[in-house]
């Protein structure tokens, strides 16, 4: 039996793929950052630049594809926009866009500047950098919780 490929099926594939591409790498950011800070502080600016670049080429485009594919699925499927899992999805993507652009992007640029400043003066990162790093880490935990709760709603459809 051959599988039938439909526009809806392709849209669903793109929707799920966009979640993996956009948010998968972000789960490793705290690991990369912690290892760099603890074992080789001089590598911290490179790690931050990598995070900024990953956000630019994977996270942001992935969130756009995720949103557009979700809108396509809503328009083509037998789905009510009033379903709780649809509402959660829209609220989540708006919150994550806001966090990416209003919190993570400026905080990452600030962390990069602080790390570069600190490492010009020596081999240690300042308490100011450490405090900012904790803020970013807390934001990351919140964003991860939003993603996980949203995936739960999308799969379980309560």
The per-residue pLDDT for range 143-152, each reduced to its tens digit, is 999 999 999 9
Is there a contact between 74 and 81 (Cβ–Cβ < 8 Å)? yes
**pTM for this predicted structure:** 0.93
Q: What is the DSSP letter of 27?
A: G
Closest of 33, 78, 75 to residue 52, by C-alpha: 33
Residue 147 tokens, joined: 């993603």
Backbone dihedral region for residue 157 (phi beyond 0: left; psi -120 to 50: alpha; all else: beta): left
Closest of 69, 70, 56, 68 to residue 25, by C-alpha: 56
Domain ranges within the chain, ordered by starting residue: 7-156
Distance CA 20, CA 65 (A): 11
Portion of the chain with pLDDT greater than 90, in percent: 97
Q: pLDDT confidence of 1, banded at 50, 70, 90?
A: low
Q: pLDDT confidence of 102, banded at 50, 70, 90?
A: very high
Helix (H, G, I), strand (E, B) or coil at 8: helix
Cα 49 vs. chain centroid, distance in angstroms?
Answer: 15
**What average pLDDT does range 8-33 have in this prediction?**
97
């Amino acid at each position: 039996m051959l599988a039938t490929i439909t526009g809806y099926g392709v849209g669903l594939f793109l929707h799920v793929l966009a979640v993996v591409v956009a948010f998968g790498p972000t789960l490793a950011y705290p690991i990369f950052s912690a290892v760099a800070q603890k074992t080789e502080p001089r590598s911290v600016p490179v790690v931050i630049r990598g995070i900024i670049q990953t956000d630019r080429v994977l996270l942001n485009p992935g969130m756009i594809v995720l949103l557009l594919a979700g809108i396509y699925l809503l328009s083509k499927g037998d789905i009510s926009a009033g379903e709780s899992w649809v509402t959660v999805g829209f609220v989540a993507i708006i919150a994550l866009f806001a966090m990416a652009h209003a919190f993570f992007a400026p905080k990452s640029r600030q962390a990069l500047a602080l790390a570069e400043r600190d490492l010009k003066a020596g081999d240690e990162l300042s308490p100011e950098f450490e405090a900012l790093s904790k803020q970013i880490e807390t934001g990351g935990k919140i964003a991860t919780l939003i993603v996980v709760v949203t995936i739960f709603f999308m799969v379980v459809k309560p």
